[in-house]
Amino acid sequence: MSTTTTRVAVVTGGSRGIGRGVVRRLAADGFAVVVGYAGKRDEADAAVEEVVGAGGRALAVQADVADEAAVAAMFEGAEEAFGGVDVVVHAAGRMTLSPVAELDLADLDALHRTNVRGTFVVAQQVARRVRAGGALVLFSTSVLGRPLPSYGAYAASKGAVEALTAVLAKEWRGRDITVNAVAPGPVATDLFLEGKSPELLARLADEPPMQRLGTPEDVAGLVAFLAGPDGRWIHGQVVRANGGLV
C-alpha cells in the first residue's frame, strides 16, 4: 500500500449519478478525490463542495475520457494537487438505445468512443501512474447477463470492458494493482428515471428479488470494497450489483 497518509482516487463521471455516489463514499472513507467530468462544471463543483463541506479534499477536472491528452492532464492534476494516484474508478459512460436494424452508426461510433476507447485511454494512464497497492474499477452492465432488445450497442461496448478487465489482470501481473468491473442493474439515477412513467418504474423496481431499484450508494459500497484493503484478493473479476437479477 502507499505510504502516504491520504490515498487518492480519480473518479471519471464523478459529477452525477453512480459516479457522484462513488465520490461521496470514497471521500467518506478518507480518500482525496478528483472529480472527473465531461461538460457540466456546476455539477462537478457541487460534488467538490459536498466533499469539502464534510471535511474532505476534492478537485474537479474536466476531461473527455477518450482524449488521451486530456486524461493525462487529469492524472497530472491529481498528482500535483494530492501527490499521486492510488485508485481510479472509471464511471464515465454513454448509453444509446436502439434496435440494431435502426441504429444510427454515428451514434454507435460516439458510444464506442466513450465506452471502449475511453476505457483503454484511462487504463493506459492507470498502468503508467497508479501506485503499488492501487486499484482500477471499471463499469460494465448486468444487461450482459440478461439481454434486452435495443441494448445491442451499449451491451457490445460493455462486453469489451469485461474482456479488457480480464486481459489487464494478466498484463499487470506483479504490479500490485487490482482491476475489476462492477456490473450494475437498474439504478435510480436522474438519467435512469428520466422519461419513464411511474408504471414502468414500478415494474422495473419489482423485477429484482429485492423488489426495488438500486441506489448510487448500493453500487458505491461495492466500489469502495474493491478499492479498499478488504478487496485486495479480488482481481480480474466482474461483480454484478443488481438485487438478484439473473
Those residues with Cβ within 8 angstroms of residue 55's Cβ, 6 or more apart along the chain or in another chain:
none
| Known catalytic residue at 154 | yes
Count CB atoms within 10 A of the CB of residue 19: 28
State the catalytic residue, choosing from 154, 177, 184, 218: 154
Tell me how far apart the alpha carbons of residues 232 and 216 are, in angstroms, rounded to a whole number. Answer: 23
Tell me how far apart the alpha carbons of residues 202 and 125 are, in angstroms, rounded to a whole number. Answer: 41
Tell me how far apart the alpha carbons of residues 46 and 51 are, in angstroms, rounded to a whole number. Answer: 9
Query: DSSP secondary-structure letter at 12?
Result: E
Query: DSSP secondary-structure letter at 235?
Result: -
Tell me the three-class secondary structure of 76-103, residue by residue. HHHHHHHCCCCEEEECCCCCCCCCHHHC
Task: Name the residue with cell 471502449.
Answer: 116
Tell me how far apart the alpha carbons of residues 158 and 142 are, in angstroms, rounded to a whole number. Answer: 9
- Active-site residues, by number, are 154
